[in-house]
Structure 1
Amino acid sequence: MAARLGFEVTVHMSADARQWKKDQLRAQGVDVKEYASDYSLAVAEGRRQAESDAQCYFIDDENSTNLFLGYAVAACRLQAQLAQAGVVVDATHPLFVYLPCGVGGGPGGVAFGLKLMFGDAVHCIFAEPTHSPCMLLGVYTGLHDAVCVQDFGIDNVTAADGLAVGRPSGFVGKAMQRLIDGYITVADDELYALLALLYQTEGRQLEPSAIAGAPGMVHVLSDVATAYRARLGLPSAHMQQATHLVWATGGSMVPKDEMKAYITKGAMILRR
């Protein structure tokens, strides 16, 4: 968007990001910088270069309050959409929202907005790949951005490249840790299977990162989550009136051949 407006734009990306994303950016006149390490190094290097140029504005997904609040606007739009659809959200009609989480800026901002809109009636749950559960580890240990998945022997390699982040945003973790209900992790094979199932049943196309929140409802309604529901004072009567929303962004820009490969791989997994 910035390149179309005439700005000189540099995007810092980890080398393992999807090639088609880099190709599309370069086709729009964007200077793409690739780093052999993961997302965290790309952000750090981008920040360092921006600080050396007074004319450069760095969009910082880890620490930008402007970006965080920009994401929060989505909750205002959702409130209007739910009202238009006749969906009630209150203490006896809880709303569960399952948000894919990478570094945390996007889902953190959306969750912040949702809490402002719906208060305790909304329950936000972050979904991360099993190989990149950085926010879960940061909040659970209390170390936030002082810890990374590699510290636990986790490789941070996942098909959900939009969520392939080894170190979480300390700003988001500290700000949101008491407002997030919990965290789930999803294996890559499950991501592929779910996106194929969604396409087969609904005709909708999502990339692996965008489908990560889909298993959330199963976890919340399972017997394993009985203590969780009791702790929040959510009796069966309220749960039967609950709305479950999967925050699924990402898929419309995926090239047709790439999307076909995603769906084919997922269909093979479903047949196992």
Structure 2
Amino acid sequence: MSDFRSDARTATQAMRDVFPATPLQRNVLLSERFGADIYLKREDLSPVRSYKIRGAFNAMRKQPDQDLFVCASAGNHAQGVAFMCKQLGKRGVIFMPVTTPQQKIQKTRMFGGSQIEIHLTGDYFDDTLAAAQDWCASQGGHFLSPFDDDDVIEGQASIAVEIQEQLGRAPDHVILPVGGGGMSSGVATWFGDDVHCLFTEPQGGACLKAALSAGRPVALDRVDTFVDGAAVGKIGEKPFSLLQNTPAPDVLTLSEDRICTTIIEMLNVEGIVLEPAGALAVEALGDVLSWIRGKTVVCVTSGGNFDFERLPEVKERAQRYSGIKKYLLLRLPQRPGALKEFLNILGPEDDIARFEYLKKSARNFGTVLIGIETKKPENFRRIFDRLDSSGMAFTDITNDETLAQFLI
């Protein structure tokens, strides 16, 4: 432990030649809401808007004689590696899936400049990763894993070093998002028993929870890629070796829709842009009230590389989770005045967000897809009661994943 802490301090000091420490900011809104001193460790304010620059820097720093670095990534890791290639004068070859949004490709290119080349290969990340590793083996470069690498883990531990220095002491709790486990294992290992570390994962990528249950890293059957910065199908071997004794209650799993509520609130109220993975730690505060009241808590906001083209989807998911937006399949009688009767069911706080006939061929009834937004979730009880009283048949499909994929 003493060697790891010392090495992480050395890495942190070396980073200061390239980029400053990210801010540790007390958040008044969250502190008052949860009755605790809540600080945000703003990794979203690093030069590449995520903590990935730390691991990339440290791993490359420890390979001074290596001129070629290879990685596979569709996002933050690619940008961290590209930035450091330009800073250190190294050559980088970055493999990205063909499906990677142009915004991410352009940012990676901007950070790396002439020091990097980008290969678009494979529709899925596993195919991209295999192509990158094969290319690296044939060319003799150093493959830089985003998380399953001792030097990367040590570099990410610099977050803990900075927290302690900025706060002047160890916090009571640190809440860490988990993807492949590089950052969470590094920070938790550096703090050791001095700090209670809590780990949070998206429901569709709960690879730490699965590994703890199995006693080893296991591949998830399915991964929901919405929380792309933490949507990892299998935690790294090296990170898991450091996290394998984590108590099960210390691992929190949050739904993707729920995470969206924090993204929207942080943006609208605080002016903080967080990507889905970056919002994980903040949203988890609501699940640990009994532990954190009156304590000092640090939430690591791991990244802010948010594509604003996703904002309508994020808002939609947040509204659905909060219960203020629902989608119904409504059987509407095919007669004059029927639509007006339905509209009279709605109250002053209700609004129609979508109205689409799905089937009008029946003589007596037509099926309508209708989206309703309202101010308070309890308003839907009134709407449903009025629909029942009027004899209008309806089905709430808001949480029906299969229908939602095709219709919403």
- TM-score when normalising by structure 1: 0.75
User: 275, 280, 295: which is aligned to 1:242?
Assistant: 295
Q: Deviations over 1:99-138 (max 9, x none)?
A: 11111112211222222xxxx2311122111111112101
**How far, CA to CA, are the matches of 2:297 and 2:239 in structure 1?**
23
Cα distance in 2 for partners of 1:100, 1:50 equals 30
Q: Is the 8 A contact 1:196 1:262 kept in 2?
A: no
**Contact preservation (8 Å) 1:128, 1:183:** yes
Shift of 1:4: 2.7
Residues 180-226 of structure 1 show CA distances to partners (whole Å, capped at 9, x for unaligned) of: 6721111111111111012222221101111011232322225xxxx
Matching residue's letter, 2:165? A
Which residue of 1 is the match for residue 16 of structure 2?
none
Partner of 1:220: 288
Q: Secondary structure at the match of 1:60?
A: coil
The 8 Å contact of residues 227 and 276 in structure 2, kept in 1 or not, is answered as yes
Partner of residue 258 from structure 1, selected from 285, 296, 309: 309
Query: In structure 2, what residue type is equivalent to 1:250?
Result: G
Alignment partner for residue 195 of structure 2, among 122, 125, 145?
122
The Cα shift of 1:45 comes to 3.8
Match of 1:104 among 181, 185, 194: 181
Q: Within 5 Å, give how 1:140-151 maps onto structure 2.
A: 140-144=213-217, 147-150=218-221
Q: Residues 114 and 262 (structure 1 numbering): CA distance in 2 closer, same or farther, change over 3 Å?
A: farther
Question: Mind listing any 5+ residue stretches in structure 1 that lack a counterpart?
Answer: 223-228, 230-238
Separation (CA, whole Å) in 2 of partners of 1:178 and 1:16: 37
Number of the residue aligned with 2:250:
182
How far apart are residue 14 of structure 1 and its match? 4.6
| Aligned residue in 1 for 2:190 | 113
Q: Which residue of 2 aligns with 1:21?
A: 104
Q: 2:233 aligns with which of 163, 166, 179?
A: 166
**CA contact 2:257–2:318 (8 Å) conserved in 1:** no
CA 1:189 to 1:161, structure 2 compared with 1: closer, same or farther past 3 Å? Answer: same
What corresponds to 1:36 in structure 2? 123
Shift of residue 266, structure 1, vs aligned partner:
5.8
Amino acid paired to 2:148: N
SS at 1:161 equivalent: coil
Unaligned 5+ segments in structure 2 are 1-82, 326-408
Tell me: CA distance 1:110–1:46, structure 2 relative to 1, closer, same or farther (3 Å): farther
- Which amino acid letter does the alignment assign opposite residue 129 of structure 1? P
What letter matches 2:178 in structure 1?
C
Relative to 1, partners in 2 of residues 1:76 and 1:262: Cα closer, same or farther, differing over 3 Å? farther
Find the counterpart in structure 1 of residue 157 from structure 2. 72
Secondary structure, aligned partner of 1:163: coil
Q: TM-score, normalised by structure 2?
A: 0.52
Distance in 1 between residues matched to 2:313 and 2:187, nearest whole Å: 27
Match of 1:131? 204
CA offsets 1:15-39 (integer angstroms, 9 cap, x no match): 565542123224554414343233x
Higher relative contact order (CA 8 A, sep 6+): 1
In structure 2, what is the equivalent of residue 9 of structure 1?
A: 92
Q: 1:213 to 1:111 in 2, by over 3 A?
A: same
Letter in 2 for 1:59: L
In structure 1, distance between residues paired with 2:285 and 2:151: 31
Question: 1:17 and 1:138 mapped to 2: Cα distance?
Answer: 28
AA at the equivalent of 2:228: D
Size of the alignment, in residue pairs?
235
Percent of residue pairs identical:
24
Question: Distance in 2 between the 1:215 and 1:267 partners?
Answer: 12
Contact in 2 for aligned 1:12/1:33 (Cα 8 Å): yes
- Structure (1 or 2) with the greater strand fraction: 2
Distance 1:186 1:16 in 2: 26
| Counterpart code for 1:52 | S
Partner of 2:373: none
Maintained 8 Å contact 2:254/2:284:
no
Give me the CA root mean square deviation: 2.7
Contact 1:102 1:168 in 2 (8 A): yes
How far off its partner does 1:98 sit?
Answer: 1.4
**Residues 191 and 15 (structure 1), Cα distance of their counterparts in 2 relative to 1, 3 Å cut:** farther
Give 1:174's aligned amino acid: S
Partner of 1:235: none
Secondary structure in structure 2 of the residue aligned to 1:112: helix
C-alpha distance in 2 between matches for 1:70 and 1:76: 10
CA distance in 2 between counterparts of 1:37 and 1:140 reads: 27
Structure having the higher Rg? 2
Q: 1:213 to 1:25 in 2, by over 3 A?
A: same
For residues 70 and 163 of structure 1, the distance between their equivalents in structure 2, rounded to whole angstroms, comes to 18
